[in-house]
Structure 1
Amino acid sequence: MAMILIPIFGVGLMFAILLNLPKDLPDWTIFSFIIFFLFVLVVSLLYIIKKWLNVPCNTFVNETGISFKFEKKNFFYKYNDFFSGWENVTNISETAYNEQGNFYQITFKNPSFTANFSAIKA
């Protein structure tokens, strides 16, 4: 949801500012403003992904199921503390990702969502 609302807000703000600029500005100035706003939007999205969407959590796995608890509160996620029995897990897959190493993707039935977990490199 944040990955949709933040770009919409950023583009809306960009258009609001661009529409209120004086009409006699040179084209290169308007083009520079557009490039600057797009750069700020991309940097802010990368910052949000790095700081708020990747959340450290404690994960516990045993014979009854899997649970995770975020180390700090996060308003982007509905569940800050979650337990699921194995009967509620529909899929577990390991995916290689060059930048951050391997991660596990776990899909749950009820509530229906997918969580990605990666180990901390020591």
Structure 2
Amino acid sequence: MRLDNRTPGEWVVEDLGINCFLISGEVEQDGTTGPERDYYNRIASVTQRDPHPTHGGGISRAEALANARAMAQAKNLLNDLLTVLAECKEMFVTAAGERPYEDVLSDFEQQPYVRLARESIRKATHG
């Protein structure tokens, strides 16, 4: 299962140099980056914020960059999880030998790691 309905291509992090990181689809072929890029390639932005004088909060530039990198890898991580799950299922079925396929699949789906992976996939794809 691939998530082809997501923004195509690799997602990249661009440092806009104004305490803001832009997560977008691949850089245009003409090398255009930053604010002058096509608006429709943008996926998200992460901005460093100083703590509020009364309420605190805020995030450092390093934390903003770490968040942007994690967001840029979200699609790859999800696709990788789907691939690993499919490979684990294949190994599980192969190791089961002569047991009925339906029983093996039911046992596989009840494994704690499979349930955890399925829940993460559900959250990422359906909220």
Per the normalisation by structure 2, the TM-score is 0.29
Higher share in helix? 2
Structure with the larger RCO, 1 or 2 (CA within 8 Å, 6+ apart): 2
